[in-house]
Amino acid sequence: MKPGRLLLVCLIVTVFAGPALAADNAKCLMCHGAPGLSKRLPDGSVISLHIDDQAFRQSVHGARLCTDCHIDMRGQTFPHKRSAVPVKCSGCHFMGNPMGAPNIGPMTEYADSVHGRAVKRGDKDAPRCKNCHGEHDIRAHTDPRSSIYRANIPDTCGKCHSDAGMARKHKIPVKRPYQLYEKSVHGKAVSGQGLIAAAVCTDCHGGHTIKAAADPMSTVNKKHIPGTCGRCHKKILEEYKKSIHGRAVAQGVKDAPVCTNCHGEHGIERPTEPGSSVYPTHVVATCSKCHESAGVQKRFGLPAHRLKTYIGSYHGVANKFGETTVANCATCHGSHGILPSSDPHSMTNKRNLPRTCGKCHPGAGENFAKGSVHLEPSEKRDKGVYWVRIFYTVFIVGLIGSFALYILLDIFSRVRKRGGRAR
Ligand code: HEC
Ligand code: HEC
Ligand code: HEC
Ligand code: HEC
Ligand code: HEC
Ligand code: HEC
Ligand code: HEC
Ligand code: HEC
Ligand code: HEC
Ligand code: HEC
Ligand code: HEC
């Protein structure tokens, strides 16, 4: 027999001659490589059992045996028994494994995450490894075709977190973070411009370590939010940490704002976008959420009527009518470095007011700023202003009153004169 033919016979024998050991991938693919191979489930639905050989070979596990993962298929004869053992990624991805399977915590961290715990409880909706990574087409996070490549992560999480029904069922407070995120400055930068340095879900939440926001260990727990955003927005974090708000949060004051109280979470927009919570005409409402709260004012001894006095000012009226060039809370107080006016570094400290007002009122001197902000004078405080105002009011009322009286008298005398003539 010619050597070629011998080889062919051997092949045929090994493959078809009776029960043969399921040893390598080619054998499995004889059946599973056929695009039509499928199976009908008891509920009538049909699932594909086709494995795309090429996609598998290009995956990170392309050099693995099918039976490395499907361990119950080892030594099976064909047709094989139903596969009963679910694939365990932990068979290789454990700390110090000899295969060199990377493991920066996926196994240990995942188990303790909100998803891992839900899976342990038997929750069918929570993601197992394969829901985020795939099965036979798993690729490294550096590969643009991977489900965990930065630009693809929002879609990977969004498979589940775009479904409000799922969120309601699991009592997740944020119903559709995916849709909000896609329209945010971060989402548009990533999907629109391919700027993968902008934040994706896992930058704020972690990948395998994800925890509910209420969990003190969560990266999105109020206490940790400044650090989470500040990993990328470093300069702003530095400024914020020194502010009255930043210091209060560091001391555990729950009423003080972190980044997301002013900017939102998933829907963050540029301050120049009219929809942004920090757009010039929206800043007033954003600060007032807290500063108009009687509880906050009382707890921290803060002065009241900031909003009322602002709205009563020239700036406030113009701002209300959509004028973006006038002063709002943040143009006078700052945004990230806000300090009480008693602090010499504060933008609203008396010494610094000429500079603060001078940004828009060139040549504003010390007198310009005096007594003209948040003014609600009383007899005790701002005595001068109080009496000047009283005088002003009496004077103006008197002036207008005498003017009106004058006109009345004039009309009266004219009528009388006319009446006299008619007689
Ligand atoms: C002779 C054809 C054939 C060969 C060779 C074969 N399979 Fe299968 N495989 C099937 C069929 C048919 C089913 C569906 C069985 C059923 O109806 O439950 C199946 C089912 C499976 C399933 C379970 C799918 C599920 O959800 O029930 C796995 C996993 C599997 N095969 C893996 C392998 C592996 C690994 C190999 C190689 C070691 C292999 N198969 C070789 C025909 C084959
Ligand atoms: C890195 C591990 C891994 C390798 C290697 C692997 N599989 Fe799978 N396979 C999975 C996972 C995960 C599932 C999903 C079912 C589960 O979780 O047990 C699966 C499911 C399947 C199924 C059921 C249908 C489906 O797509 O869900 C078949 C058939 C199958 N594998 C065949 C193969 C064949 C044939 C090979 C070799 C060419 C192979 N697998 C290699 C991990 C692997
Ligand atoms: C909720 C989605 C999700 C789940 C569930 C998940 N992963 Fe990941 N995984 C990711 C993301 C996203 C990355 C990319 C790195 C990152 O951002 O943390 C990643 C990275 C990895 C890496 C690469 C780590 C490295 O350092 O190169 C491995 C390995 C991995 N995951 C394995 C697993 C295993 C095993 C499981 C199941 C125990 C699992 N993952 C569950 C989302 C997930
Ligand atoms: C048989 C051992 C084995 C099993 C089982 C296994 N892996 Fe892997 N995995 C590896 C090895 C080895 C590598 C490294 C491949 C390389 O870098 O060439 C790897 C790489 C990876 C990577 C790429 C990491 C990166 O650089 O971003 C991910 C993701 C991954 N595996 C996820 C999984 C998931 C999910 C499962 C379960 C469905 C799984 N693995 C099951 C051995 C395994
Ligand atoms: C397969 C669906 C699925 C995928 C994919 C998924 N999740 Fe989840 N996620 C869930 C379910 C279900 C829960 C609720 C778990 C529970 O009941 O405790 C959850 C919970 C959460 C929570 C905590 C919510 C709360 O209040 O309990 C966060 C945060 C979260 N997921 C973020 C992510 C991120 C980020 C990704 C992508 C890296 C992701 N998820 C991928 C299904 C998914
Ligand atoms: C820029 C940071 C950031 C990005 C990007 C981000 N999130 Fe969030 N996410 C947060 C913060 C902060 C919270 C906490 C909100 C709160 O305290 O009410 C949160 C809350 C959540 C919750 C509810 C958790 C809970 O326990 O209340 C889910 C689910 C969630 N995010 C999913 C996602 C998904 C999915 C993506 C990607 C599409 C994503 N997030 C992108 C910062 C982010
Ligand atoms: C992974 C890094 C990263 C994280 C984490 C991150 N950001 Fe960003 N952010 C960026 C990048 C990059 C841009 C610029 C996008 C662009 O210009 O298109 C940006 C843009 C912004 C903008 C608009 C800036 C402008 O000039 O208009 C705001 C506001 C913002 N981020 C707030 C936040 C907040 C609040 C958090 C935390 C909840 C956060 N970011 C977390 C990277 C990040
Ligand atoms: C008290 C409210 C408030 C808090 C807290 C806050 N911001 Fe801002 N932020 C603003 C306002 C108002 C603007 C727009 C005016 C400006 O640019 O200063 C702004 C602008 C920005 C911008 C775009 C403009 C720029 O300077 O690059 C980024 C990015 C930003 N904030 C990130 C953050 C981050 C990160 C944190 C948390 C460490 C944070 N902010 C905390 C109110 C706040
Ligand atoms: C989430 C609620 C919250 C938001 C939003 C908020 N603040 Fe505050 N702010 C506080 C609390 C609470 C304090 C008191 C902190 C302390 O004394 O420990 C404070 C303190 C201050 C102080 C110092 C008061 C003093 O006399 O010590 C100024 C000024 C201030 N905020 C201005 C602003 C401005 C301007 C904005 C909008 C850009 C803003 N705040 C947004 C809660 C908030
Ligand atoms: C035109 C500049 C300007 C605008 C606009 C402005 N403030 Fe002020 N604010 C000041 C100055 C100056 C002081 C200190 C003197 C005083 O109390 O009148 C001050 C005082 C305060 C204080 C008392 C704590 C302290 O530092 O003395 C709070 C709280 C405050 N402002 C909040 C707000 C809020 C909230 C808004 C928006 C509704 C706002 N301010 C708008 C200039 C401004
Ligand atoms: C962000 C820019 C901006 C800042 C900062 C600012 N203003 Fe104004 N202010 C305006 C604009 C614009 C007008 C409209 C009239 C104009 O153009 O002079 C105005 C009008 C006024 C008016 C009434 C009209 C007039 O010109 O007499 C007074 C009073 C005033 N500002 C006082 C102040 C004081 C005091 C400060 C500092 C505590 C201040 N402003 C900070 C932009 C600003």
DSSP string, 185-248: HHHIIIIIH--TTS--HHHHH-SSS---TTSTTSTTSGGGHHHHHHTTSHHHHHHHHHSHHHHH
The single-letter code of the amino acid at 19 is P
State pLDDT tens for residues 176-231. 999 999 999 999 999 999 999 999 999 999 999 999 999 999 999 999 999 999 99
Q: β-pairing, 46-48 with 38-40? A: antiparallel
> What does the angle CA 351 – CA 354 – CA 357 come to, to the nearest 5 degrees?
130
Indicate which residue's Cα is closest to atom 36 of ligand 9.
287
Q: State residue 395's pLDDT score.
A: 63
**What average pLDDT does range 287-301 have in this prediction?**
95
245 CB within 6 A, ligand 8: yes
Is 165 in a helix, a strand, or coil?
A: helix
CA distance 60 to 69: 13
Label residue 264 by pLDDT band (50, 70, 90).
Answer: very high
Indicate which residue's Cα is closest to atom 12 of ligand 6.
220
283 CB within 6 A, ligand 8: yes
CA distance 145 to 156: 12
Label residue 5 by pLDDT band (50, 70, 90).
Answer: very low
- Range scoring the smallest mean pLDDT among 17-31, 38-52, 402-416: 17-31
Cα dihedral 238, 241, 244, 249 sign: positive
Mean pLDDT score across all residues of the chain: 88
Best residue among 225, 265, 291 to mutate for probing ligand 9's pocket (most ligand atoms within 8 Å of CB) is 291
CA distance 378 to 363: 30
- Range scoring the smallest mean pLDDT among 113-127, 325-339, 351-365: 351-365
pLDDT over 70 percentage in the chain: 87
Best residue among 25, 51, 56, 60 to mutate for probing ligand 4's pocket (most ligand atoms within 8 Å of CB) is 60
End-to-end CA distance of the chain: 150
Label residue 372 by pLDDT band (50, 70, 90).
Answer: low
φ, ψ of residue 342 in degrees (nearest 5): -70, -20
pLDDT above 70 (res 383): no
Best residue among 278, 284, 348, 385 to mutate for probing ligand 10's pocket (most ligand atoms within 8 Å of CB) is 348
**What average pLDDT does range 328-356 have in this prediction?**
96
pLDDT above 90 (res 19): no
**What average pLDDT does range 118-133 have in this prediction?**
96
**What average pLDDT does range 33-56 have in this prediction?**
94
Most confident stretch, 68-77, 146-155, 305-314: 146-155
pLDDT above 50 (res 271): yes
Is 175 in a helix, a strand, or coil?
A: coil
- Range scoring the smallest mean pLDDT among 1-10, 78-87, 297-306, 399-408: 1-10
CA 66 to centroid of ligand 2, rounded, Å: 7
107 CB within 6 A, ligand 5: no
Ligand sitting nearest the alpha carbon of 236 = 8
- Range scoring the smallest mean pLDDT among 61-75, 126-140, 384-398: 384-398
How many CA within 13 A on the CB side of residue 82? Answer: 3
205 CB within 6 A, ligand 8: no
Is 48 in a helix, a strand, or coil?
A: strand
Q: What is the dihedral of CA 114, 118, 119, 125, to 10 degrees?
A: -100
CA 143 to centroid of ligand 5, rounded, Å: 24
φ, ψ of residue 278 in degrees (nearest 5): -115, 15
